[in-house]
């Protein structure tokens, strides 16, 4: 069955960077896009960006452009999301999610979420 398993919770200081991993299994990794989204406490989901796992091309939300980097390691079926210049408002649960069939911007399988806490 399709699984996306994310790395564990992180606590970071303001100004630092965080890198979260997402390991995929149960399907052909390069056949689908991987998205990264986040949900801060009591807030709506925010989309950070996505990666084409075939060629590594990325597209980022304008809200995070310049602060977020999404990469992939096809040999490990793993994608990574790095967010820099962290501030307290970045405290949230970060999710990776796989696209649905040919509808690249719809998300059908989700990781379990990674809590990132930014605190001095």
Partner 1 sequence: EIVLTQSPGTLSLSPGERATLSCRASQSIGSSYLAWYQQKPGQAPRLLIYGASSGATGVPDRFSGSGSGTDFTLTISRLEPEDFAVYFCQQYGSSVTFGPGTKVDLK
The rounded distance, in Å, linking the Cα atoms of 17 and 35 is 19
With CB under 8 A as the contact rule, the residue among 3, 105, 115, 119 that binds partner 1 is 105
Nearer to partner 1, 25 or 112 (CB): 112
With CB under 8 A as the contact rule, the residue among 7, 12, 23, 46 that binds partner 1 is 46
The rounded distance, in Å, linking the Cα atoms of 94 and 74 is 21
Positions of E strands within 66-102: 68-73, 78-83, 92-100
Query: What is the contact surface with partner 1 in residues (CB under 8 A)?
Result: 35, 37, 44-47, 61-62, 95, 97, 100, 103, 105-108, 110-113
């Amino acid at each position: 069955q399709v699984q996306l398993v994310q790395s564990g919770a992180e606590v970071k200081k303001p100004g630092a960077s965080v890198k979260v991993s997402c390991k995929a299994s149960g399907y052909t990794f390069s056949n689908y896009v991987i998205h990264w989204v986040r949900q801060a406490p009591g807030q709506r989901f925010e989309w950070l960006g996505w990666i084409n796992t075939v060629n590594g091309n990325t597209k980022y939300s304008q809200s995070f452009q310049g602060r977020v980097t999404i990469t992939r390691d096809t040999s490990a079926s793993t994608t990574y999301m790095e967010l820099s210049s962290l501030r307290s408002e970045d405290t949230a649960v970060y999710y990776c999610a796989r696209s649905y069939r040919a509808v690249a911007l719809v998300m059908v399988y989700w990781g379990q979420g990674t809590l990132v806490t930014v605190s001095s």
